[in-house]
Amino acid sequence: MQLSYCTNVHPAEDLDGVIRQLRNYAGPVRRRAGLDVLGVGLWLPAGLAGRLAGSAADIAVLREVLSEQGLQIHTLNAFPYGGFHNEVVKTDVYKPTWAQRERLQYTLECAEVLAALLPDGTPGSISTLPLGWRDPWTADDDAAAVTAFAELCEGLRTLKERTGKMVRIAVEPEPGCVLDTVSDVAQWLAARIPRGIDPDYVGLCIDTCHLAVSFADPVAAVRSVGAAGLRIVKVQASAALHVAAPADAAARTALEAFAEPRYLHQVRELRRDGTVLMADDLPEALSELPGRGPWRVHFHMPLHLVPALPLETTAEVLEMTVAEVGSLPYGQDAHLDIETYTWSVLPGKPADLVEGIAGEIAWARSRLLAPAPRQPCLPLET
């Protein structure tokens, strides 16, 4: 699999900011990791995507910086539309929805940019949101989204004919959204293939933090995608927080440090009968969920670090998912993108972000891409 790390960890809303990201972080990460070439999963806010899609000169500048820093682009993250590092993001990250034309335009512009940056002979992927937040979402919204995806597929076919580059869209389920789970996405897409959604161009992105939070079996989830006649286009390598006994006073105190105001941290509690209770954010969970079963929290944890007990992470879900995807006939074509965007809000975060990301890359290379003896994770002070 092509391994990369997602640049949405770095705040930037214009071309100069993205260039600073690449020179101040991505290039140094590559050198710290000891790699000749490093993949980056680029995040482009909508304004910049539109600018790049219409400017060959700006694309040439970006391509030159990528070459200068020893970086390659195989995938883009087009889930956040913009403002991903605002003081408060929360549910704004799900706007505009796939019922709004701005989302289609943005995604097509990202595809245009990716086609211009892809190495010859390699397919590209773009992850996107699972339609929108669940409320409000109407039958009219759903119909508009189907129309948008059909137009998207037509646009991607035209792009391939014009450039020779295959770009696929990867719909990424997330707790609380219209399409909450892997099964939700697979069923929604498969049912709408007759209405113009082409499975050659639209598949799934499995974010393994989201997958873990849902308490789904990762092997069964991966297999269900193939059974629906769909492709896993991308895996976002991420780990959630796991708390075995959330009612314990020490666990609650530890969790409170992760209840920060910028991002939404959905929580799920697994009951003894196998049903799952839900809360849309960590403060809500701490005040409303009973805590009689284990919790999983949507907080992207660095892959190679673990918090002090009683907190744990779900890195094993990531390992199981990647192994299962890798066993599929097209598994080696899936893109593997490390997406730990939470470094800036992580309690006890390391001072050196370059070192932290390089550590994640080393962990992913040894644990996910090649059989190797297991190496211990590094402790994270919280």
Residue-level pLDDT at 382: 34
Residue-level pLDDT at 351: 73
Residue-level pLDDT at 377: 44
* Torsional sign, CA 61, 63, 69, 71: positive
The domain 2-238+314-380 having CATH identifier 3.20.20.150: the answer here is: yes
Q: Which residues of the chain have pLDDT under 70?
A: 350, 371-382
Cα-to-chain-centroid distance, residue 40: 13
> Which are the contacts of 279, defined by CB distance < 8 A and separation ≥ 6?
266, 267, 268, 269, 285, 288, 289
Tokens encoding 14: 């214009």
Distances (CA, A) of 305 to 33, 210, 250, 354, 364: 16, 18, 20, 14, 12
Q: How far apart are CA 164 and CA 347, in angstroms?
A: 45
Q: How far apart are CA 299 and CA 306, in angstroms?
A: 13
Residue-level pLDDT at 266: 98
Q: Where are the domains of the chain?
A: 2-238+314-380
The partner residues of 170 in beta bridges, in order of sequence, read 127, 203
Residue-level pLDDT at 209: 98
Question: Would you say 37 and 72 are in contact if contact means Cβ atoms under 8 Å apart?
Answer: yes
Tokens encoding 109: 């512009």
